[in-house]
Amino acid sequence: MTDDWWNDAYDDDPPWDVGRPQPALVRLVEDGVVDGRVLDVGCGTGTNALYLAEHGHPVTGVDVSERAIEQAREKARRASDDEDRNVRFRVADALDLSADLGPFDSVVDSGTFHVFEDEQRGTYVDNLAAVLRSGGHAFVLAFGNDAPDDWGPNLVSRDDVTDAFSSDDWRIDDVRETVFLANHGDDEVAGLLAVVERR
Ligand SMILES: C[S@@+](CC[C@H](N)C(=O)[O-])C[C@H]1O[C@@H](n2cnc3c(N)ncnc32)[C@H](O)[C@@H]1O
């Protein structure tokens, strides 16, 4: 998918924009395992980023779509009536992140890994490694193998995650089945959550 394709998607109401934080992310926050400064990579209109900010995390949301970032900034303005906002949004390509963005203590990915093709995944995880501090964690939430295979994203298996994060930069802590909210929040589909530590 091109940058224009993603931009055009935000002219409508894309089905992945579910209007509430993903339950798997909420669980991570409630369990206290998301640490410190967070990068929400492929943040869309910022629902997850704003949830994290409300829970005390300084958050940077990045997305390749300018329209998504405009909408995220507007949501942030509406969510806070003071100037002391804990969240910032930037247009950026996750396959070409500036190291200046970081360092972060955590990276949250809700539905971004699964839009990349196999041959892009190595570049993607190298970019995450460049902005995540040693000992920090990436939380990657994707459509799992049992999700519908004709809704758009790639279905992601344990092996896909293991292969993508196989370099010396990473240690895979956990890959577990979970649910992924889709279709404006009307459907819960099979999801996969990977927790990966930056060495
Ligand atoms: C399935 S949507 C998920 C959006 C958001 N995380 C959410 O949960 O609502 C995938 C997002 O990745 C963004 N994206 C796609 N390719 C990207 C890239 N190369 N760099 C940054 N963002 C990208 C899209 O614009 C889109 O917002």
For 121-155, how does the pLDDT look when each residue is reduced to its tens digit (9 = 90+)? 999 999 999 999 999 999 999 999 999 999 999 99
Report the domain count for the chain: 1
Asked whether residue 19 is domain-assigned, the answer is no
Q: Is 69 in the pocket of ligand 1 (CB under 6 A)?
A: no
Q: What is the pLDDT of residue 82?
A: 53
Asked whether residue 44 is domain-assigned, the answer is yes
3-state SS, 43-76, equals CCCCHHHHHHHHCCCCEEEEECCHHHHHHHHHHH
Helices 47-54 and 66-79 cross at an angle (nearest 10°) of 30
Beginning with the edge strand found earlier in the chain, give each strand of the sheet holding 132-143 in spatial order: 87-91, 59-63, 38-41, 104-110, 132-143, 187-198, 170-182
Percent of the chain with pLDDT over 90: 92
Domain holding 100, by residue range, is 3-9+26-198
Rounded to two decimals, the pTM is: 0.97
**Cβ contact 105:38 at 8 Å:** yes
Residue range 53-90, pLDDT digits in tens: 999 999 999 999 999 999 999 999 998 755 457 999 99
Q: What is the pLDDT of residue 1?
A: 84
Asked whether residue 64 is domain-assigned, the answer is yes
Asked whether residue 15 is domain-assigned, the answer is no
Q: What is the pLDDT of residue 18?
A: 97
Q: Is 112 in the pocket of ligand 1 (CB under 6 A)?
A: yes
Q: Is 110 in the pocket of ligand 1 (CB under 6 A)?
A: yes
Atom of ligand 1 nearest to the CA of 153: 1
Handedness of CA 70, 72, 74, 76 (dihedral sign): negative
Distance (Å) of CA 16 to CA 9, 20, 37, 185: 10, 11, 24, 8
100: left (phi over 0), alpha (psi -120 to 50) or beta: alpha
CATH of residue 44's domain is 3.40.50.150
Q: Pick the residue whose CA is nearest to atom 3 on ligand 1.
A: 111
Contacts of 78 (CB under 8 A, 6+ apart): none
Asked whether residue 115 is domain-assigned, the answer is yes
Asked whether residue 17 is domain-assigned, the answer is no
Distance CA 82, CA 108 (A): 25
Q: Is 191 in the pocket of ligand 1 (CB under 6 A)?
A: no
3-state SS, 155-199, equals CECHHHHHHHCCCCCEEEEEEEEEEEEEHHHCEEEEEEEEEEEEC
Asked whether residue 18 is domain-assigned, the answer is no
- If one residue of 7, 63, 178 were mutated to test the ligand 1 pocket, choosing by the most ligand atoms within 8 A of its CB, it would be 63
Asked whether residue 16 is domain-assigned, the answer is no
Q: Is 64 in the pocket of ligand 1 (CB under 6 A)?
A: yes
